[in-house]
Structure 1
Amino acid sequence: MPDSPLPPPARRLLSLAPGTRVVVRYRIEGGFTDALGELADCTGREARVRTRGGVAVVRLEDVVAAKPVPPPPPRRAPRSQAAHDAGPVA
């Protein structure tokens, strides 16, 4: 870990319980990216976020923003093909 203290957003991640849904913005080569998902764990060096695409491993020194977020909205039921084929209702 670097000699300097962790940035405030990284310290916030350390305070959250595993299982909390979070969004984390962090530095990557050439810019920034986000990880949105469930906080799997957070050590003094890195956080692991379970996203739709897998587990994102984020070095805490690279975190520029982080916060808990509400659960995702419920998925919509698929539209039935019959309703789609009937066209708009007049």
Structure 2
Amino acid sequence: MQTPASLLAALPLGTRVVVRRRLDEGVTDSLGDLVALDGTTCTVRTRRGDDVVVLADVTAAKPVPPAPPRRAPRR
């Protein structure tokens, strides 16, 4: 079985991913583009900025489809 960290390592940079990780209070998700990966961390570029995730804390990860286009503002 493939671990979440090895799955992330197999994906090309720029792939849109969701990464779930443990926190003291529970878990949280990061959704965005995978922009960096090294032996201990990965960086996901979210709408709010870059989120550096420690691979040891990752409980699940997977590629996801591109985001739908934003709606036009109402007039």
TM-score norm. by structure 1 comes to 0.78
Larger Rg: 1
Find 1:61's aligned residue among 56, 59, 62. 56
1:37 aligns with 2:19: no
Q: 1:77 Cα shift?
A: 1.1
Unaligned runs of 5+ in 1: 1-6, 81-90
Encode CA deviations 1:10-49: one digit per residue, 9 max, x unaligned: 1100111110000000011221100000001111111000
Give the superposed CA RMSD: 1.1
SS in 1 for 2:35: strand
Q: 1:79 Cα shift?
A: 1.5
Superposition pairs of residues 7-86 of structure 1, within 5 angstroms? 8-80=3-75
Unaligned runs of 5+ in 2: none
Structure 1 window deviating more from structure 2 (7-16 vs 43-52): it is: 7-16
Identical aligned residues as a percent = 58
- What code does the residue aligned with 1:64 have? T
